[in-house]
Amino acid sequence: MTENPKVFISYAWESPEHQDRVLALADWFEMHGVEVIFDQYDPNPVLPWPKWMEKALRDATFVVSVCTKTYCMRVTEQQPPGEGLGAQWEGTLIYNALNQQPEERSKFQVVQFDAEDRSSIPAGLAGNNRYVIKDLSLEDPRLEDLYRLITNQPRAKRPKRGDIVKLPSVERTVVPRSGITNFEPFVAELSKVESNSRVPTHHPGRRLPEISKGIGKGTYPEKLARANAERAYEAERADDIDATLFYAQKALRLDSQNLVALRLAANSLYRLGQFEQSLPLLEAFTSRRPDDALEFFRLLRVRDLVKGTNNLQSEGRRKIDLVPNRVEAIIGYASVCSDHKAHEEAVGILEAEVPRNDSFELRTSLAVNYWFAGESGKATAILEDLPKEKFSAVDWTNLGVGRAEMGRFGMAIEAINEGLRLGGRGKFAQYALAEIYALMGEKDAAIQKLETLKDGGWHYLTRAKTDRTFDPIRPTREFQAFIASIS
């Protein structure tokens, strides 16, 4: 049994009755052997309140958040400026801890009195244990559960572990249906596909190898090509551009007709700025998939860059009128324009379309392009107004950065956490956290995130050179040294 565990109680000062009820909970814990870190016990600490809260959070074995509607509003910064600053700051510290040390999520517990509505729990704590306490007595089963957790007294006692029982093996003979008896070459090749080892990193001037002609469907090389294409797709979702290109190349060596690998290889080279090499792949893909508007727009832009033409806007806008899915085409066109700094064109076509087709996808695309065009206020206003149940991980991440630019840091971290919970791309989310730390003036934390991304070979990191969200720490010697290291 743990001796004298420490519990920090986080709550909102909302009424004398509520303060008394939280005080009674703290008293009960103290009288039952738990050391409580509590502002009512220490109304005039030596440390300033923010430092006192940081130390309390760090020293506590467990953190108990007493969640009410007022507490939730203050933690998520929905109250008027200047109100509930203590709860706001505690909420920001809690979210920081959850994000930086997700393995310590079990440290944070939610307490409510008399079945308070679940909507009163901030989103960052919604997945944690919830204890509805009605009576300050061990007769209350939920208080008993919380007390057992804090004092390390589980209900079930683990028995002494015995020895493994050895069972006899059963002899059997396998006759392969394929008639192949030597599988060693295939196993070796498939094990390479399944390997999680680090793939070669990108170097300038990378060239695609010669690729095979199309092969029969269902043959072993075709299946192996498909396995490599799937691995490339997984790498793209993880935002690992080197691994994406590596596995897409392997797939194309085996089967040049694999459209997934063809698109992934073309896009990887496009993102790396190797336009001459991406051009033949984009041409091959769009010839077989002329309905894919996004890849067609990328092909137009690459031709403009490689061949010196200027057809993206004229042919791109004409393509929009020909494809069946107009909304998807406009979003793809705006994305390609944004990739190449044509923000005015991207915003213009989206603004013109929204009144005619006010879809969720169009508005999120408009928000992103507003942000790229330097109009973060408009971007954040759009995202705040959209239904959050439709949000993707990327939408939450974008909203988090927008909130941070407006100084709403508690809500910004909450949004980032929602993005991570939905399986957001780790590197984009880490970059967004670096932006938020920079906006908060937390120079060391911001640079640490950026250094981690640099060590991981993230190809988009050069955007930090001009990203305005880093302006609060840009003049510092440490940030300038980091920028020099990626130049």
Query: Of 199 and 397, which is predicted with more confidence?
Result: 397
User: Within a 10 A sphere around the Cβ of 156, how many other Cβ atoms?
Assistant: 5
Query: Above 50 in pLDDT, residue 206?
Result: no
Query: Of 91 and 372, which is predicted with more confidence?
Result: 372
**φ and ψ at 8, to 5 degrees?**
-100, 125
Query: How does residue 78 score in pLDDT terms, banded at 50, 70 and 90?
Result: low
Query: How does residue 101 score in pLDDT terms, banded at 50, 70 and 90?
Result: low
Query: How does residue 96 score in pLDDT terms, banded at 50, 70 and 90?
Result: low
How far apart CA 52 and CA 208 sit, in angstroms, is: 58
Query: Above 50 in pLDDT, residue 102?
Result: yes
Give me the pLDDT at residue 88, please: 53
Where on the phi/psi map is residue 144: left (φ > 0), alpha (ψ -120 to 50), or beta?
A: alpha
Mean pLDDT taken over the chain? 79
Query: Above 90 in pLDDT, residue 5?
Result: yes
Quick: pLDDT tens for 349-392. Answer: 888 888 888 789 888 888 888 888 888 888 888 988 989 888 88
Query: How does residue 295 score in pLDDT terms, banded at 50, 70 and 90?
Result: confident
Give me the pLDDT at residue 211, please: 41
Can you state the angle between helices 409-421 and 426-439, rounded to 10 degrees?
170
Query: Above 50 in pLDDT, residue 315?
Result: yes
Query: How does residue 209 score in pLDDT terms, banded at 50, 70 and 90?
Result: very low
How far apart CA 4 and CA 59 sit, in angstroms, is: 12
Top mean pLDDT of 18-27, 292-301, 303-312, 458-467 is at 18-27
Quick: pLDDT tens for 154-185. Answer: 988 888 888 888 888 655 443 333 343 443 44
Beta-bridge mates of residue 111: 66, 131
CB 418 within 8 Å of CB 426: no
Question: Average of pLDDT values for 243-247?
Answer: 88
**φ and ψ at 66, to 5 degrees?**
-85, 105
Give me the pLDDT at residue 176, please: 38
How far apart CA 204 and CA 91 sit, in angstroms, is: 45
Q: pTM for the full model?
A: 0.51
Quick: pLDDT tens for 119-138. Answer: 888 877 777 889 999 889 98
118: its two tokens: 């679940």
Domains with residue ranges and CATH for the chain: 6-150 (3.40.50.11530), 190-289 (1.25.40)
Quick: pLDDT tens for 408-435. Answer: 777 877 887 788 777 655 677 778 888 8
Query: Of 469 and 198, which is predicted with more confidence?
Result: 469
Q: Which residues contact 74 (CB under 8 A, 6 or more apart)?
A: 12, 83, 84, 87, 88, 91
CB 29 within 8 Å of CB 7: yes
How far apart CA 70 and CA 127 sit, in angstroms, is: 19
Least confident range from 87-96, 146-155, 398-407: namely 87-96
